[in-house]
Chain A
């Protein structure tokens, strides 16, 4: 059974803190993605990685960075958290090719106060 796990289901951080969100997949997928989901805006792609140490910016990369040191692990970093980064963060993975299913993790609800 395919599995994508995220380090926390709920996280509360203060403005200005550095925040790490971790995602691990056990399917040996090359592609990994970070999205945020907000009411009325749907899922928006933050960053995409197609291989270890390789990344591409998505639609809303400002204020975020990513790290992929191992194939199974993709981290999202908020260098200095702000209240407008309060959101649901979803990680996904897939094999290469847009025609293939993306498998999502359960999400991390981040609140920045």
Chain B
């Protein structure tokens, strides 16, 4: 089983739609959780950290469910510019190394 698993998609949604991605992780001792965004042919960039209490940044909401070992990302009122690959990232063990999921591709259509 992969340490971090995501549905690769693509998720094709119309502008204005709400879309949610989930990601599961295998190591229950994982401490840090993130969503990164990667545009086509570009490098990944941090979208948001995911905190135990959940957190929101504008149209984006991230949730962590430790009991079921998954994190989620909700995007409301999707924009064309949200089209990208969203990478779920976990710190599965002590130390500085992160494990990246394979990414979920989102395509927002007019």
Whether A106 sits at the interface, judged by CB under 8 Å, is: yes
Q: Are B8 and A102 in contact (CB under 8 A)?
A: no
Q: Provide the A92-105 mask, 1 if CB < 8 A to any CB of B, else 0.
A: 00101111011011
Q: Provide the B56-100 mask, 1 if CB < 8 A to any CB of A, else 0.
A: 000000000000000000000000000000010001000111111
Q: Are A99 and B97 in contact (CB under 8 A)?
A: no
Size bin of chain A's contact surface: 20 to 34
Q: For residue A94, which residue of chain B has the nearest CB?
A: B96
Contacts of B46 in A (CB 8 A): 101-102
Highest count of chain B CB atoms <10 Å: which of A94, A102, A105: A102
Q: For residue B46, which residue of chain A has the nearest CB?
A: A101
Q: In the complex, A51 Cα to B82 Cα: how many Å?
A: 36
Q: Are A104 and B45 in contact (CB under 8 A)?
A: yes
With A98-B91, A99-B49: A58-B97 Cβ-Cβ less than 8 Å = yes
A residues lining the B interface (CB < 8 Å):
31, 33, 35, 40-45, 48, 50, 56, 58-59, 90, 94, 96-99, 101-102, 104-107
